[in-house]
Structure 1
C-alpha cells in the first residue's frame, strides 16, 4: 500500500467512528503495571493513547471482526509514512504482535474498520525528582522554582504527523493570597499549578504572594501506579505583591434627599460633584507590601503629582473646583516590586448659590416650610436673618441647613424678613448676597380651601 493511500486510510479513520471500539478490540500482555489509557486531541486522528510502563516484554493482541487484518506502524512522520509490520501471528480472529515498540503510532486495517492509536513507552521518560528550591533571581510578575530531576516532554504524533504533547500533570502545591471581592480582603489559600512536563525551572503565574513551601509531585502515571514522587522546597519569602483599592464618597450630595436636597446637581456621575466632597480611599494588599503612598495629580498619566500621602488609607475632603486623579502605589521592602491600584477621577463642579424669597412655615409640614439656599460647591458660608427692625433672628454657617421660620422656638409673624450671606465657592468665587424673605401663612376653611393671610 502506498504512503498516499495509507494516509487516506488514516485520515478516514480520523473521520469515521469504527464499528468496533478500539478498547474492546486491543489488549496487552506482559506489562508489569496497568496500561493507562489517555484520550488524544480530537483532531489528531487517533482513537486512544496507551501508556505502558515498560514495553520491552509486552505483546499486543487485536481481536478482529473481519478478515485480512494488516498492521502498520509509524513514527513522527505520520501515517502517510507508516510501514507494514511483519511477523504478526494470528490464531482464529486474534492477531498478536509479540514485540511492541514504544513511542510509535499504530494503524490496524481490519477490512471496513481502521484503528489508529499511539503507544507510549514510559520508562525512558520516567519522572525522577531529587530536589526543589526557589530560584535565586525572582521576578515581580511570576515565581520561579528550580527542580533537580528529569521528566522530559512525552510527545505523540497525529496521523498527519503533527506533534502533540501528553500532559504529565506534574503538580506544584503552595500557599498564596487570593483577592476575595465579596469580603474585600486577601485570603490565604492553597493553590496547585500543573505542568505538562518537568523543566529545569518551573514558572508560576500569577506569582506567589506569601511565605510558603513548594511541594512538587508527580506525575499522573506514577500516581496511578502508586509510585508518585514528591520533593519539598525550603521556606520561600515572596517579593511579589498585589493591591486592590476602593473609594467611597461619604457625603454624595447628588442623591441624599434628606441631607442635601438643596444642592444643585453638578452633572457628575462618578466621584465628586459639589464641594466639599469627603471621600474615603482604602487599600488592600498582600503581605509583601511595606510602603504605601496615595498620589493626586492633575493628569491621568501622573506626570504632575500635586500630593503624596504615605498612608495605607486616605480620607480626603476635596475643596477646589476641577478634576483630580487619585491612585494608590504599593511596593515591597526594597522597592523592587511596585503595584498601582485603580485610578479614580474626582470632579468638583463650578460653584453656584441661589436664594429663595418666600416660604410658608407651619402651613404644611414638609412642604416649603423651611427657607434654604440652593447651592453647589460652596466651601465657606455664613448667613444672617434679620427682622424689619434690623434685629438678628437666626444665624447659620452650613448651606445644608436652613431657617424654619422660628425665633426662640416659636414661629415668627408673617411678613417680610431679610437675609445677608457671605460665601466662597470651590472655584474661588466670592458671594455677597442680600434680599428679602416673605413669610406666608395660609388659613384653611371648612370646605378644604385655603387662602393667604
Structure 2
C-alpha cells in the first residue's frame, strides 16, 4: 500500500467521523464556580449565586445548534424560549437554575450543562448540635443543625441523580499520641466532612471539645463573611491506649545499660521482672486493669496470673511457659471499654551447666570466676569445698560465682569440689556435684569443659 493511498484513507476517516470539542460556558454578573464534571455524559455542573441581571453564555457554533432545557431526563427536554444567539454562543438572561441545559450540535453530538443555585442550599445558620451516634456511642459523633447539612442535586441526561461534592469545614480539639513523649497532647484540628443524611458524621475526638463550622469548600467565593457557629461541648468517651514494657530481672535478660527499653523480648529466662506501663487519653480514660494469662487461655473465664488496677505495674515470672499481657481501659461513662494489643512472652525451659576448671590468677579478666551457665533457674544453692571437706564458699544467686579466694586470700591451684542444688522454672530439680580444677601458670593439658553462658 502506497503512502499516497494511506493518506487518502486517513483524510476520508477524519472528514467522515463527527468530532467536536466540549463547548464552553461563561457566567456574567454573578458569583460562580465549576462544581464537577460527569465525563460519561460530558456534563459540566456550574454552581451560581444568582443576582439581578446576570447571564449565562453557552458556546454554540451556529444558531442551528438547538438549546434545550431538562429537569430530570434529557429525553424530556424542551427548547428554551427567550434565548438569544450572539458571537458564537447562546445567551440566557437570568436563566432558571437547578436544571440542565443541552446544546445540540447535530450528528448525535450534544453538550450538557447543569446550573445549580447556591442560594437554594446556603451554609447553615443558627445552632450546631453535637451528639454521640446511637449506633456507635463510643466512637462516632453526629453534627446536626435545624436546617440540616445538604448539597445540590443534579441529574445526568439519563435521569441518574447525583450530589455536587460539598465538604464542610469543621474545627475541634483532639488528643494526639506522641510516641517520643509516651503521652497525649491536645491539638486543634480541621476536617472536611461530606454530608450524610443531612448530618455530618465523624470519628469521635479523644479530647473534650466543641465543634465549629467555619464554612465549606465554596464559602470563600459565595459567603466570605460567614460567621462560624459553635456546638455544645462534648465530653470524650472514645479511648486509645498505648503500652510499653521494660525488662528488669536477671543478667541474661539485661542489656549493657541494665534493662531493655525497646519493648519486651519474646523469650526470657526466669526469674524475670517485667514493668508494664499504659497511657490513654485522659480524662476520658479513667480505669486501667492489667491482666496476665497463660497463652491460649485469654478469655474472661481463664485463670489469670495477675489482675492489677493501675496504669503501671510489675510482675515477676518464675514459671516456664508462654503468657499473654494486656490492659483494659474503661471510659468515664462506664460503658465504653478498650483492650490494648496483646503481648505474648515465653519463659524458656531451665538449663544448668557447671564448668570443671577456671584460672583466677593466671589470666586476669579471662575465665577467672567459677560461675554456672543457666536459664530459668528460680532457686539455687551452691557450695565449694577443699579436699578435706572444709567449706570455702557458698552462694545462692546463680549469677554470682567463686573467685578462687578464701577469707580474702587466693587458694592454691589444684582440685576442689562443688555441691549444687537448684530448681528450674519448669519444675526440674538439679542435684549436682563434681570437681573443679584451679589452673595455675604452668598448667597445660587441662582444658575446661565448654559452657555457654
Say yes or no: does 1:175 pair with 2:173.
Answer: yes
Residue 236 of structure 1: aligned partner: 234
What pairs with 1:271-420 in structure 2 (closer than 5 Å)?
271-287=266-282, 288-298=284-294, 299-306=297-304, 307-420=306-419
**Does the 8 A contact of 1:143 with 1:204 survive in 2?**
yes
In the TM superposition, residue 52 of structure 1 has moved relative to its aligned partner by: 0.7
Residue of structure 2 in register with 1:98 after alignment: 93
Gaps of 5+ in 1: 1-15, 261-268, 445-449
Q: Hey, what's the Cα distance between the residues in 2 that align with 1:380 and 1:166?
A: 74
Distance 1:50 1:300 in 2: 59
Distance 1:143 1:367 in 2: 67
Q: Relative to 1, partners in 2 of residues 1:142 and 1:254: Cα closer, same or farther, differing over 3 Å?
A: farther
Alpha carbons of 1:137 and 1:157: their partners in 2 closer, same or farther (altered >3 Å)?
Answer: closer
Question: Which position in structure 1 is the counterpart of 2:66?
Answer: 70
The residue aligned with 1:215 is: 212
Greater CA drift, 382-391 or 99-108: 99-108
Q: CA 1:105/1:363 → structure 2, altered by over 3 Å: closer, same or farther?
A: farther
1:37 to 21, 34, 38: 34
Shift of 1:331: 0.8
Deviations 1:238-265 (A, max 9, x none): 23222121223235866758699xxxxx
Find the partner of 2:221 among 224, 239, 261: 224
| CA contact 1:222–1:229 (8 Å) conserved in 2 | no
Q: Is the 8 A contact 2:246 2:276 kept in 1?
A: yes
1:127 is aligned, of 100, 123, 126, to 123
- What is the alpha-carbon distance in structure 2 between the residues aligned to residue 400 and residue 40 of structure 1? 75
Is the partner of 2:234 in helix, strand or coil? coil
What SS does the aligned partner of 1:240 have? coil
In the TM superposition, residue 211 of structure 1 has moved relative to its aligned partner by 1.8
For 1:17 and 1:121, how far apart are their aligned partners in 2? 32
Do residues 50 (structure 1) and 46 (structure 2) align?
yes
Distance 1:218 1:258, change over 3 A: closer
1:266-309 CA-to-partner distances (Å, cap 9, x unmatched) read xxx94342101221211011111111110122313343142210
Q: Structure 1 residue 419: deviation in Å?
A: 1.1
The SS at the match of 2:127 is strand
What is the SS of the residue equivalent to 1:224? helix
The two structures have a TM-score, normalised by structure 2, of: 0.81
Aligned to 1:266: none
CA distance in 2, matches of 1:86, 1:334: 64
SS at match of 2:220: helix
| Partner SS for 1:281 | strand
> Residue 145 of structure 1 corresponds to which residue in structure 2?
143
**CA–CA separation in structure 2 for the residues paired with 1:452 and 1:382:** 27
Change (3 A) 1:256 1:30: closer
Structure 2 alignment gaps of length 5 or more: 1-17, 259-263, 448-453
CA drift of 1:443 comes to 3.7
* Kept after mapping to 1: 8 A contact 2:250/2:271: no
Q: Deviations 1:146-191 (Å, cap 9, x if unpaired)?
A: 4223442312234444333223222221111122334322121112
**Which segment drifts farther, 228-237 or 311-320?**
228-237
Mapped to 2, the partners of 1:115 and 1:313 lie a distance apart of: 68
Rate the CA distance shift 1:282–1:259 in 2: closer, same or farther, 3 A: closer
Contact 2:25 2:56 in 1 (8 A): yes
Q: Confirm or deny: 8 A CA contact 1:170 1:196 kept in the other structure.
A: yes
Moved more, 421-430 or 286-295: 421-430
**TM-score relative to the length of structure 1:** 0.81
SS at structure 1 position matched to 2:341: coil
CA contact (8 A) 2:237 2:336 kept: yes
SS across alignment from 2:218: helix
Shift of the alpha carbon at 1:416? 0.6
**Distance in 1 separating the partners of 2:413 and 2:35:** 93
Residue 126 of structure 2 aligns to a residue in which SS?
strand
After superposition, the Cα gap between the structure-2 partners of 1:317 and 1:325, relative to the gap in structure 1 and judged at 3 Å, is same
- Tell me the distance in 2 between the aligned counterparts of 1:395 and 1:154: 88
Match of residue 450 from structure 2: none
Q: Using the TM superposition, give the Cα deviation of residue 84 of structure 1 relative to its aligned residue in structure 2, in angstroms.
A: 4.3
Shift of 1:128: 2.7
User: SS of the counterpart of 1:290?
Assistant: strand
